[in-house]
Amino acid sequence: MSDNYLVLDKVTKRFAALKAVGGDDGLSFSIRKGSFLGLVGPNGAGKSTTFNLISGVLKPTSGRILLEGVELTQTATASISGLGLGRTFQTPRVFGSLSVLENVLVGADNVGEGLRAALSGRWRKADAALAARAMELLERVGLAERAGHRVSDLSGGELRMLEVARQLIREPRVFLLDEPTAGVDPMLQKKLGSLLVELHKAGTTLIVVEHNLHFLFEIADTVVVLQSGQLLAEGTPDEIRSNKKVIAAYLGAEHAA
């Protein structure tokens, strides 16, 4: 059962005539509870669309996605994060007019109420414990010194780290990260890598889309390779590195042994 913690069952997504995910037969794979899955593939392979389908931002054209037997594809988008699913976006989504710390606090709440409370400063009195937790998360993502800054002061890489902290305050059971190292400087990347390893050790199920395969293959335990929306290969990082189909289609000759 734990092998089938998160299941994609013959999922397809079309945008008009474009078969973005699943081709004709559908994309199927499952994820073990507590595993650290790397999702890779060339540009346009359907990685972000797959994330959008799992997190409910998009509904599939056909097929089902299940988390512990609960059909996410039949669950209202707003309710899916309540099931313990957190995600970051390829382009960070933050509140530009709020401070770094306020952005993390807003993440603690579903929608609306958290934002209103943050804007009115109510959270200061309402929940010192929550603020302490938010500061601790900012520490973990390397942004503690930026807590009081406007989000507009942050670099692109720092925004990505802020997005991670905003999601972590809700303690997701399943955490999806879309290209978390893009634009992130080497020091913060290292911090992010350690943070992901810690989350993995603590039992969080991780799914990470990443172009930086050196970064990903060091820390993931399983890798799924997509090509043209379809499953090209699945295995451990070592198996994927030496998979001839993957080398030919994606990694290129320079990665061949």
Residue ranges in contact with ligand ADP by CB under 6 A: 15, 18, 20, 41, 43-49
Nearer to ligand ADP, 103 or 230 (CB): 230
Of 130 and 182, which CB lies nearer to ligand ADP in the complex structure? 182
Q: Which helix (H) or strand (E) segment is 187 a member of?
A: helix 186-201
**What are the angstrom distances between the C-alpha of 13 and each of 21, 55, 216, 255?**
5, 14, 26, 31
CA distance linking residue 166 with residue 128, whole number of Å: 17
Nearer to ligand ADP, 62 or 110 (CB): 62
CB count within 10 Å of CB 21 equals: 29
Which option in ligand ADP, Mg ion, none does residue 49 bind, with CB closer than 5 to 8 A by kind?
ligand ADP
- The CA distances from residue 97 to 25, 56, 117, 214, in Å, are 45, 27, 14, 35
Q: Taking the complex as a whole, how short is the minimal distance between the CB of residue 231 and Mg ion, in angstroms?
A: 17
Of 62, 61, 42, 58, nearest in space to 50 by CA:
58
Residue 15 binding: pick among ligand ADP, Mg ion, none (C-beta 5-8 Å cut-off by kind):
ligand ADP
Q: Which does 43 bind (CB under 5 to 8 A by kind): Mg ion, ligand ADP, none?
A: ligand ADP
For residue 130, the surrounding DSSP H or E stretch is helix 128-140
Q: How far is the CB of 73 from ligand ADP (least distance, A)?
A: 17
Size of the site for Mg ion (CB under 5 A): 3
User: How would you classify the pairing of strands 6-15 and 27-31?
Assistant: antiparallel
Nearer to Mg ion, 61 or 90 (CB): 90
Minimal CA–CA distance to 33: which of 192, 175, 236?
175
Q: Which is nearer to ligand ADP, 39 or 162 (CB)?
A: 39
Q: Which does 46 bind (CB under 5 to 8 A by kind): Mg ion, ligand ADP, none?
A: ligand ADP
Q: Which of 12, 35, 48, 243 binds Mg ion (CB under 5 A)?
A: 48
* In the complex, minimum distance from the CB of residue 11 to ligand ADP, in angstroms, rounded to a whole number: 13
Dihedral sign (CA 43, 45, 49, 54): negative
Closer residue to Mg ion in complex, CB, 86/142: 86
Kindly list the residues in this chain that would bind Mg ion in the complex (CB under 5 A): 47-48, 90
